[in-house]
């Protein structure tokens, strides 16, 4: 039994004494103890070495005591497993030297055996579970198929993913074939994560907001729906689409346990658009963690008052930034623990 099950109870829609809190990307780049590991090992070595990944996962828990841990990994381990080369270049980000640009390129893309290609992730989960000692739940995650396609086609990060969108609009058959392969891989991957011990999973659709509502249904949401359908009976699923306020209504009917909200969507609008009956997570602007600690605490209390303490998980509206002062991250977590429903 998990000793602090606040996060799981909130996902289940139960009445809680205060909302749970965790932060997207909490395992990593703003922590000095993470930077020490980063100085010694390159990015994918950190992801692929269970001892390192599990240590990085628990670092923020030791320091701040969040109500849930999220496994240190990356969404791009999926294309790597699918026989698509991915590099992480310092001061540049992800780089895929052989992007998918035409139908023939799909011949080299496989739906892999998860044990063979991503067994190291399951090793990291098992080691992390031992370190957490059932104190708090562990979250596993994956990128949405559309978000993964963006990198596979663009070959790197982008402000508008024009090549990825162009691929979908000029070669829709090939795009859907790639999306389905990513979806099948992601479902198998998340199922293995649940078997290995994660207590919930989150699907990150980081680039969903690049699509119009109509295109979102065709190239993103129908594939997220497949993932939710396949996983929802095995573990709670959180769906987070950045910039996807227009899809909250459909997401709320998907069978997901909770929906992530970014900082451009108010608590009131998020409750309204999602139908008011599903747990919501978010939506603190990550840059607002640069505000003074006192101001952060005030804003967090205001945010909880607006969302309500039940069916709500306190989080950022996207990942924590590398330049956030430690004290400010601490103020964010403390504010939630100090919160008393007025």
Residue 319: strand pairing partners: none
Q: 44 labelled as ligand-binding?
A: yes
Q: 65 labelled as ligand-binding?
A: no
Q: 74 labelled as ligand-binding?
A: yes
Between CA 142 and CA 144 the distance in angstroms is 7
40: tokens are 């010694």
Q: Are 81 and 153 in contact (CB under 8 A)?
A: no
204: tokens are 């990150």
Between CA 65 and CA 136 the distance in angstroms is 9
User: How many Å separate Cα 125 from the centre of its chain?
Assistant: 16
Between CA 296 and CA 177 the distance in angstroms is 45
Distances (CA, A) of 94 to 38, 45, 155, 248: 16, 14, 8, 29
Q: What residues have CB less than 8 Å from 18, skipping those under 6 apart?
A: 6, 304, 309, 336, 337, 339, 340, 341
Q: 271 labelled as ligand-binding?
A: no
Q: 25 labelled as ligand-binding?
A: yes
Give the other-Cβ count within 10 Å of 232's Cβ.
15
Give the other-Cβ count within 10 Å of 41's Cβ.
13
Q: 318 labelled as ligand-binding?
A: yes
Residues in the chain: 342
DSSP letter, residue 320:
P
Q: 281 labelled as ligand-binding?
A: no
Q: 339 labelled as ligand-binding?
A: no
Q: 27 labelled as ligand-binding?
A: yes
Residue ranges for the known binding site are 25-29, 44, 74, 151, 206, 318
Q: Which residues are annotated as a binding site for substrate?
A: 25-29, 44, 74, 151, 206, 318
């Amino acid at each position: 039994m998990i000793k602090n099950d606040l996060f799981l109870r909130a996902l289940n829609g139960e009445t809680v004494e205060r909302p749970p809190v965790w932060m997207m990307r909490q395992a990593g780049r703003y922590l000095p103890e993470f930077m020490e590991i980063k100085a010694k090992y390159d990015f994918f070595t950190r992801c692929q070495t269970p001892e390192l990944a599990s240590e990085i996962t628990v670092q923020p828990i030791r320091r701040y005591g969040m109500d849930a841990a999220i496994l240190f990994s990356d969404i791009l381990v999926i294309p790597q497993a699918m026989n698509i080369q991915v590099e992480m270049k310092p001061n540049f980000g992800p780089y895929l030297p052989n992007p998918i640009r035409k139908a023939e390129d799909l011949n080299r893309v496989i739906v892999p055996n998860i044990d063979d290609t991503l067994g190291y992730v399951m090793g990291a989960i098992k080691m992390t579970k031992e370190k957490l000692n059932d104190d708090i739940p562990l979250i596993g995650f994956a990128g949405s198929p559309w978000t993964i396609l963006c990198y596979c086609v663009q070959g790197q990060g982008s402000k508008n993913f024009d090549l990825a969108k162009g691929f979908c609009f000029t070669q829709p058959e090939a795009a859907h074939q790639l999306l389905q392969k990513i979806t099948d891989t992601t479902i198998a991957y998340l199922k293995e994560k649940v078997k290995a011990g994660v207590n919930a999973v989150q699907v990150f659709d980081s680039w969903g907001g690049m699509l119009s509502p109509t295109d979102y249904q065709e190239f993103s949401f129908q594939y997220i729906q497949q993932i939710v359908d396949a996983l929802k009976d095995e573990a709670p699923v959180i769906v987070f689409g950045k910039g996807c306020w227009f899809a909250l209504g459909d997401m709320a009917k998907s069978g997901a346990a909770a929906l992530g909200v970014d900082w451009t969507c108010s608590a009131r609008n998020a409750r309204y658009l999602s139908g008011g009956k599903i747990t919501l997570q978010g939506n603190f602007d990550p840059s607002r963690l640069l505000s003074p600690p006192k101001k952060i605490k005030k804003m967090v209390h205001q945010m909880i008052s607006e969302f309500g303490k039940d069916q709500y998980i306190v989080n950022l509206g996207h990942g924590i930034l590398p330049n956030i002062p430690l004290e400010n991250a601490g103020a964010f977590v403390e504010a939630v623990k100090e919160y008393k429903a007025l």
